[in-house]
A and B are shown apart, each in its own frame.
Chain A
Amino acid sequence: MYMSRVSELGGAFRAEFLMQIRRASVWVTIGLLGLIIFALWYGFAAVSLHPHFNSEQHIWEPASQSDAILGWAQLLAMFLPLGVGLVLADRLARDRRLHVDEILATQPGSLGARLAGKWLGSTLATFVPVALIYAAVVFYIVTQAPGLGGLALALAAFAAILLPGMLFVAGFSVAIPAVMKTPVYQFLFTGYWFWANLMSPKIGIPSVVSTMLNAAGPWAQEGIFNFQWTFLQLHATPLQGYLSIAVLSGLGILAVAIAWVYLRWQAARQ
């Protein structure tokens, strides 16, 4: 029984991964968004690669490979998970539109294993272009400010700052279109992303931006890497940084689990 579930999950994972990674639109979209974010990084953070004058503190600062890498991870985490989430939002809708879900429902495999395989497969496939773009700019940084220590830092920053936020949005983007039209979700998710992650607390609208629900990685960035996030001063400890990673990843898994319960209930009604 257990082996059968693992085998079903593996099959669903393989199919979804291959399908997603072969979609040209995923590569073009993530590539284009990577280019926009690289332009922002080049304008704001690439200055760290060379000695420069800090106009806020009125001091000369030396070149810093770590600032350049963490600045790159920060900008990617601010915007790219939104693109990843929006690209993944049509996965369940695709099955419904092509009636694949009805065909799969007649098969002996479990819905839970299929849904988990879909989430993991499509999410990991979407991470591939993200990781390549991230690695390309890290390589550029290492060539400009040499030091192999930067590679380990870049790997840790990817895992701690970028990955949890993307797992979080991927979980919700695979799950929520089960209960609403994909374009409606896409609009709401875009608004949510700005409201929950990027809206300054100075604006008089209540928001979760300074809580651990912020998926753009401020807690991990400040707590683990001691690198201040753009407009928040959280005074986060390393423990809070690790906790934020667990919260975001856990909520992504929870979203898929809730979608599984809902879809099972829906199938039982038919």
Chain B
Amino acid sequence: MPNFSIASLEEVTYMDSVSGLEAPRYEARIVGPWVFALPAFVACLFAIAAGMMAFKQAQHLDIQRLVMTGLEGALPLAASIGVATIAAHEPALEVQLSMPRPYSHTALLRCGMLLALTALIEGITVALLARVWPWTLSQSGGVWILAWLPTLVWFAGWGGLLALLLRNRAASAAILGVIWVVELAFHGVFPLYGWTTPLYVYATMFSPEAPYWLLNRLELFGTGILLFIAIWLYLSNPEWRLRGEEY
């Protein structure tokens, strides 16, 4: 039994008649502001933790690791949980599928909004760190975009696709959460084998100077783009999407 309300029907119907900058505002209302607040919440958590470590005069390496865990891993994980929510949960699915605008466009617009917001937070954080604590960043300039953008797209792509395939966002978060922790705990293993290197999320934190670093970033980014194409294909098939969420 889907959680369907008149309010969501009104918003969806209205959505079809709005355009331009109004559309994202209404999409954010339908998805729920808390989904978009999650990356900012995560950034604040890590900023507080890093501030406390600096206050306690912790070693620079430890603070750097914490900051990098936030940039390279935690914000992308938060985005993946948000994308999983957007992809799997749609209270007014039947109405969405009957609209002139394809539902895949609507869902991907929502995912794009969340990714853009997370990328903005990542970008502002890196810019601030470069000014205040440059020692936390082991590389400089435009290369820094490769520290977080590939992992952001990779995590978000997996989050969305797993939520659709498993028809359950909690299951998607479970798989990605365990992978996130396994990669942190066994970070030394992933560079050792050819087939695990393209899955190595924390390459910037643990081996920024490694010869495979750039290839790893490009592979993660490319995989992420392929995953979003798969999400788009899945969402474009109303029969698959109508199977709904497994409660």
- A contact set with B: CB distance below 8 Å: 23-26, 28-29, 32-33, 36, 40, 43, 78-80, 82-83, 86-87, 89-90, 94, 97-99, 181-184, 186-187, 189-191, 193-194, 198, 203-205
Q: By the criterion CB–CB under 8 Å, are A184 and B177 in contact?
A: no
B168 within 8 A of partner (CB): yes
Q: How far is the CB of B98 from chain A (nearest CB, A)?
A: 22
B145 within 8 A of partner (CB): no
Q: By the criterion CB–CB under 8 Å, are A194 and B81 in contact?
A: no
The docked-state distance in angstroms from the alpha carbon of A90 to that of B163 is: 13
Q: By the criterion CB–CB under 8 Å, are B81 and A183 in contact?
A: yes
Q: By the criterion CB–CB under 8 Å, are B174 and A29 in contact?
A: yes
Chain B residue numbers with a CB within 8 Å of A82 are 174, 177-178, 181
Closest residue on chain B to residue A181 by CB atoms = B34
Which residue of B45, B49, B56, B171 is within 8 Å of A25 (Cβ)? B171
The docked-state distance in angstroms from the alpha carbon of A204 to that of B58 is: 6
Q: By the criterion CB–CB under 8 Å, are B173 and A86 in contact?
A: yes
Q: List 13 A-B contacts (CB under 8 A).
A: A25-B246, A36-B179, A36-B182, A43-B189, A79-B182, A87-B174, A182-B170, A186-B173, A186-B174, A187-B74, A191-B45, A205-B53, A205-B62
Q: By the criterion CB–CB under 8 Å, are B168 and A25 in contact?
A: yes
Q: How far is the CB of A69 from chain B (nearest CB, A)?
A: 21
The docked-state distance in angstroms from the alpha carbon of A79 to that of B171 is: 15
Per the 8 Å Cβ criterion, residues 90-131 of B in contact with A are: none
The docked-state distance in angstroms from the alpha carbon of A81 to that of B247 is: 21
Q: By the criterion CB–CB under 8 Å, are A198 and B78 in contact?
A: no
Q: By the criterion CB–CB under 8 Å, are A33 and B38 in contact?
A: no
Q: By the criterion CB–CB under 8 Å, are A78 and B82 in contact?
A: no
B77 within 8 A of partner (CB): yes
- Top 4 nearest A-B pairs (CB, nearest first) are A86-B174, A25-B171, A25-B168, A190-B177
Q: How far is the CB of B151 from chain A (nearest CB, A)?
A: 15
Chain A residue numbers with a CB within 8 Å of B166 are 24-25, 28-29
Known contacts: A25-B167, A29-B174, A87-B174. The answer to whether A204 contacts B38 by CB under 8 A is no
B225 within 8 A of partner (CB): no
B1 within 8 A of partner (CB): yes
Chain B, interface SS category? helix
Q: By the criterion CB–CB under 8 Å, are B58 and A86 in contact?
A: no
The docked-state distance in angstroms from the alpha carbon of A256 to that of B179 is: 27
Sample of 18 further A-B pairs with CB below 8 A, known A36-B179, A40-B186, A89-B170 = A23-B168, A24-B166, A24-B246, A25-B170, A26-B171, A28-B171, A32-B175, A33-B175, A40-B182, A82-B178, A82-B181, A99-B3, A181-B34, A183-B38, A187-B77, A193-B177, A194-B181, A198-B184
B35 within 8 A of partner (CB): yes
Which residue of A25, A43, A184, A190 is within 8 Å of B77 (Cβ)? A190
Chain B residue numbers with a CB within 8 Å of A193 are 177, 181
Q: How far is the CB of B177 from chain A (nearest CB, A)?
A: 4
Which residue of A28, A79, A99, A183 is within 8 Å of B181 (Cβ)? A79
Q: How far is the CB of B75 from chain A (nearest CB, A)?
A: 10
B85 within 8 A of partner (CB): yes
Per the 8 Å Cβ criterion, residues 15-29 of B in contact with A are: none
Q: How far is the CB of A222 from chain B (nearest CB, A)?
A: 19
The docked-state distance in angstroms from the alpha carbon of A97 to that of B246 is: 12
Render B40-67 as a binary contact track against A, CB cut-off 8 A, 1 for contact: 0110010001000100101100100110
Known contacts: A78-B185, A90-B170. The answer to whether A191 contacts B53 by CB under 8 A is no
Chain A residue numbers with a CB within 8 Å of B173 are 86, 89, 183, 186-187, 190
Chain B residue numbers with a CB within 8 Å of A98 are 1, 3, 247
Q: How far is the CB of B85 from chain A (nearest CB, A)?
A: 6
Q: By the criterion CB–CB under 8 Å, are B180 and A190 in contact?
A: yes
Q: By the criterion CB–CB under 8 Å, are B175 and A187 in contact?
A: no
Which residue of B34, B59, B66, B185 is within 8 Å of A184 (Cβ)? B34
Closest residue on chain B to residue A191 by CB atoms = B74
Q: By the criterion CB–CB under 8 Å, are A203 and B62 in contact?
A: yes
Known contacts: A33-B178, A83-B177. The answer to whether A187 contacts B38 by CB under 8 A is yes
Q: How far is the CB of A43 from chain B (nearest CB, A)?
A: 7
B217 within 8 A of partner (CB): no
Which residue of A23, A36, A187, A204 is within 8 Å of B42 (Cβ)? A187
Q: By the criterion CB–CB under 8 Å, are A79 and B178 in contact?
A: yes
Closest residue on chain B to residue A231 by CB atoms = B185
